Amino acid sequence: MQFNVVGVKRIEGTAKASGNPFDMCRLYAMVPIEPSEGKTRVTGFGMEIGEMDLDPAVLGDFAKIVFPAKLELKTEQSFRMGEFKTVVVGIEGAKSSSKAA
């Protein structure tokens, strides 16, 4: 899938309250604002930022990209926290920095 990617970010550490480790890796892309009708009405024009999970193993693949960039992304479905989610696992045509690739 092709997206206008504006950046990627990884946040990792230890939660203050629980002491549990966390690791969040996200990709941010411009997506069209989608007006909708119903109990909640959305009206708008242009683009907004959408987020997708990013496999931390491929974060380095984005290091030399000048953002914003139109990229063809490789995605997979992953079962996380009781839900299927789309996860970015690379960039089409790029050699992966992942050791698994």
pLDDT digits (tens, 9 = 90+) for 66-77: 999 999 999 999
Q: Which of 47, 46, 49 is nearest to 6 (CA)?
A: 49
| Gap between the Cα atoms of 29 and 20, Å rounded | 29
| Gap between the Cα atoms of 59 and 7, Å rounded | 11
* Res 97 pLDDT > 60: no
pTM exceeds 0.85 for this model: no
Question: What pLDDT is recorded for position 96?
Answer: 58
Is the bond leading into 68 cis (omega within 30 degrees of zero)? yes
**pLDDT tens for each residue of 11-43:** 999 999 999 999 999 999 999 999 999 999 999
Question: What pLDDT is recorded for position 12?
Answer: 96
> How large is the average pLDDT for residues 72-97?
88
Share of the chain above pLDDT 90, in %: 86
